[in-house]
A and B are shown apart, each in its own frame.
Chain A
């Protein structure tokens, strides 16, 4: 009887973080994003990784509903594997449930925080935390733990309150260092990949700045 009492208290305590199918605010944001039929914008990419020196790169980002976001450039560019899914299509590709984690302040904005837990083994992420500006109906931060590629933290900055797409995107991730001499072709380039992998990982950042954004709804 005593055990049943404590179990009841425990279940009542769990109520605020009770799992639900999909958070309503997230669905509202998704609905808003789905109103975009296509968009294109000029994009500037800056890499901030301790062992990489790369000048600012420029390109064009193009999205059409039902297709993946494409980035084109005349230069060699490095794109983060996460962070460009502004319409949330990748997240919504496979089913998941959401868990309300309360509220948190993100760059002066009081955000609703939810966890996304996939219910399909096909999903490429294991858990995601989304910080939503429910008043402006947009996402300001996300932390996505992928199954194969590590954790990607994305910060989204918007120019105006009504903007649906961000002007600046900052993607943070863990990256392994490289130490390969590229002097000659031949034996000197034969290195132990395992040893390289075992070296400590570092935090890398990539900054994406969008301009001349043209949205078709």
Chain B
């Protein structure tokens, strides 16, 4: 099992798609920072427009914490999409290149093989989120400096710089669980569909539907609380003025459960299926 994991890590490190993933993340960061640099003041101005009649403002809200928050919001769509495309490719490329058949000719357990794929995919996902977080914090504070964070979530919430820093870190940690879920789903889709293009399309549709379903009220408390799409926004809850920790724990715990369930389905399908490209 360990040697399989090592082998998978070696494969990923040698694949060009890993570099594409990192490049894509840096490009997203670059776009958000550029947009903030040119449009940020206007957006803050718009946000506080209605308060200008009554207040004078002192201090700078267009700072590193706001930029980190804006980049963090790429966890809604951009980052999971990149992850789903890259991670599904870990398996579909093996189907396409017939390397899977070669591996299976060796004394390798199908269970351990696919489990090692899942484990490496999860590690890869966490690594990407870590790189995103570290580069985001570093670049944002370096260019825009420190300052209070303002977020519009059920009203205007202002957080002191120190408080914002910890909230952003926790949001990245919580968001990584959501990213793991999408990564696991994409690998399971790769197990089911085998073909790269089909997997990318279905993964993108899954992500879009998940985001759309998040906003729909099902008028049923059980579905509203337990349906997987309703659990993918836990990281946003760190920007409510009073952090609802129990809701965050519940959502993350349930999402981990869904991830394990999806992984088990993927493992069972892979084990029962003949290896043919």
Contacts and interface: CB of A to CB of B under 8 A. Distances in A.
Contact of A52 (B36, B49, B156): B156
A185 B42 CA distance: 10
B46 A193 contact: yes
Contacts of B56: 78-81
A150 B47 contact: no
Nearest to B241: A53
B135 interface: no
Q: Is the interface of B mostly helix, strand, loop or mixed?
A: mixed
Contacts of A177: 50
Contact of A76 (B35, B60, B76): B60
A150 B39 CA distance: 30
A59 B157 CA distance: 20
B158 A80 contact: no
Contacts of B50: 175-178, 196-197
B32 A53 contact: no
Interface of B: 32, 35-36, 39-40, 43, 46-51, 53-61, 70, 73, 76, 147-148, 150-152, 155-161, 163, 241
Contact of B46 (A51, A54, A191): A191
Contacts of B40: 185
Given A55-B159, A150-B54, A178-B152, 14 more contacts: A51-B156, A75-B59, A75-B161, A76-B58, A77-B59, A78-B55, A78-B56, A78-B57, A80-B54, A81-B56, A175-B54, A176-B53, A185-B39, A193-B46
Interface of A: 50-55, 59, 71-73, 75-81, 148-150, 152, 173-186, 189, 191, 193, 196-197, 204
B253 to A, nearest CB: 25
Nearest to B59: A76
Nearest to B70: A185
Contacts of B48: 178
B152 to A, nearest CB: 4
Given A78-B55, A174-B54, A53 B60 contact: no
A184 B43 CA distance: 10
A148 B53 CA distance: 8
Contact of B55 (A79, A181, A196): A79
A184 B51 contact: no
Contacts of A196: 49-50
16 contacts: A51-B155, A51-B156, A53-B158, A53-B241, A75-B148, A76-B150, A78-B57, A79-B56, A80-B55, A150-B54, A175-B51, A176-B50, A178-B47, A183-B76, A185-B39, A193-B49
Given A76-B148, A182-B150, A193-B46, A52 B54 contact: no
A8 B17 CA distance: 97
A76 B49 contact: no
Given A178-B49, A178-B50, A183 B158 contact: no
B155 A53 contact: yes
Contacts of A81: 53-56
A71 B32 CA distance: 33
Nearest to A193: B49
B183 to A, nearest CB: 22
B58 A182 contact: no
A49 B231 CA distance: 31
